[in-house]
Structure 1
Amino acid sequence: MCGRFAITLPNDAMAQLFSARPANTLPAVPNFNVCPTNQVHVVRAGDSGRRLNPLRWGFLPHWYKSETAGPLLINARAETLADKPAFRAACRERRCLIVATGFYEWTKTEQGARLPWYIHRKDGAPIAFAGVWQDWGKDDARQGTCAIVTTAANRNLSVIHHRMPLILEPDEWPLWLGEVGRGAARLLQPGAEDVLEFYRVDPAVNSNRASGSNLIEPVPA
């Protein structure tokens, strides 16, 4: 799964990397502790090209009467993405990329203490999570919402957690965004073993109020 992540890439650099036109309302960066319900950076494709927009992290199906009418859907399982009523249409028609620098996962000690790990690309490049999106609400309350697609963890990350975000490489972005026809379902599998690395970070990040670059500084394991 993915329940917290970091984004440090400047907005203009993000727009350039993804060849996307940026909105004027993008969230401030850097943010070393992006939490559910925060606005996140999302790349979507359209008739006029790619756009980089802010969307609420927490997918709201159209039948939700309020933002708290059901479970907080921050992740969508790849294995059931095409079948779950909440995500079925979005899987076919509303796929996106959610931009990150790295993400956090937790293990537990025998005493139950939660130990955070920071996971990032070995090559230092930004991460593009596969995502799905949904517009929700009416009139002035209308907003875009999204969820991160997750898969079974690859062997490398399975020592930390049994799930991981679906991470897409640049040559896969057009297919996932629907720019080059059908066949995106073949991307719904764990990525290469050698792309990511991880290290322990300070338990300060256990709080959703924590902030600052110290959150991604390594500490002794």
Structure 2
Amino acid sequence: MCGRFAITLPNDAMAQLFQAQPANDLPVVPNFNVCPTNPVHVITASDGARRLQAMRWGFLPHWYKTPTDGPLLINARSETIAEKPAFRSAARERRCLVVATGFFEWTKTEEGARLPWYITRADEAPIAFAGVWQIWGKEDARQTTCAIVTTPANQHMAQIHHRMPLILDPKDWPLWLGEAGKGAALLMKPGPEGRLSYHRVDPAVNSNRASGPQLIEPIEP
């Protein structure tokens, strides 16, 4: 799964990297502890143009009467995304990229203590999570919301968690965004071994109120 991440890339650098027009209301960066329901940086494509915009992390199906009317949908499983009523339309028509620098995952000790790990691309490049999005609500209550697609973990990531976010290479961005025709379903599989690197970080990040660059600094296991 993906339940927390960090973004340190400046907004103008994100816009340049993804060749996208930036919106005026982008979230503040850096943010070393992006949590569910926070606004996140998202790339969408329509009419031959890409846009960098803010979306609420936490997908709201159209039948929710309030944002808390059902489970908080921060992730969408690749194996069922095409059939689940909440996601199937978005999987066909509203795919996006969620931009990150790295993400967090947790293991547990025998005593039940949660040990956080910070995961990045091994080549230190920015991360593009595959995502889906949905506009929810009416008039003043309208929100644009998103979820991150996850897959079963590859062997390397399985040492920490049995699932992982779907991370796309630049060559695959056009296909996922619908710019290169159909076939995005072919991308929904665990990434290759060796793509990611991880290290232990301070348990301070266990709190969703924690902030600061020290949250991603390595500590001794």
TM-score normalized by structure 1? 0.99
Q: Match for 1:56: what amino acid?
A: R
Q: Residues 22-44 of structure 1: CA distance to partner in whole angstroms, max 9, x if unpaired?
A: 00000000000000000000000
Is the 2:98–2:131 contact (alpha carbons within 8 Å) kept by the matching residues of 1? yes
Alignment partner, residue 217 of structure 1: 217
From the superposition, tell whether residues 181 and 48 of structure 1 become closer, same or farther in structure 2 (CA, over 3 Å). closer
CA distance in 2, matches of 1:180, 1:165: 22
Alignment partner, residue 40 of structure 1: 40
Unaligned runs of 5+ in 1: none
CA distance in 1, matches of 2:14, 2:182: 26
Alignment partner, residue 59 of structure 1: 59
Q: Residues 113-166 of structure 1: CA distance to partner in whole angstroms, max 9, x if unpaired?
A: 000000001111100000000000101111100000000001000000000000
User: What secondary structure sits across from 1:82 in the alignment?
Assistant: coil
Alignment partner, residue 184 of structure 1: 184
The aligned runs of 1:66-215 (5 Å cut-off) are 66-215=66-215
Query: Residue 194 of structure 1: CA displacement?
Result: 1.2
C-alpha RMSD of the superposition: 0.5
Q: Identical aligned pairs, as a percentage? A: 75
Is the 2:59–2:74 contact (alpha carbons within 8 Å) kept by the matching residues of 1? yes
Is the 2:95–2:132 contact (alpha carbons within 8 Å) kept by the matching residues of 1? yes
User: What secondary structure sits across from 2:204 in the alignment?
Assistant: helix
Q: Match for 1:101: what amino acid?
A: T
Q: Residues 158-180 of structure 1: CA distance to partner in whole angstroms, max 9, x if unpaired?
A: 00000000000000000000001
Alignment partner, residue 15 of structure 1: 15
Unaligned runs of 5+ in 2: none
CA distance in 1, matches of 2:39, 2:139: 19
CA distance in 1, matches of 2:52, 2:199: 30
CA distance in 2, matches of 1:150, 1:138: 29
Query: Residue 48 of structure 1: CA displacement?
Result: 4.8
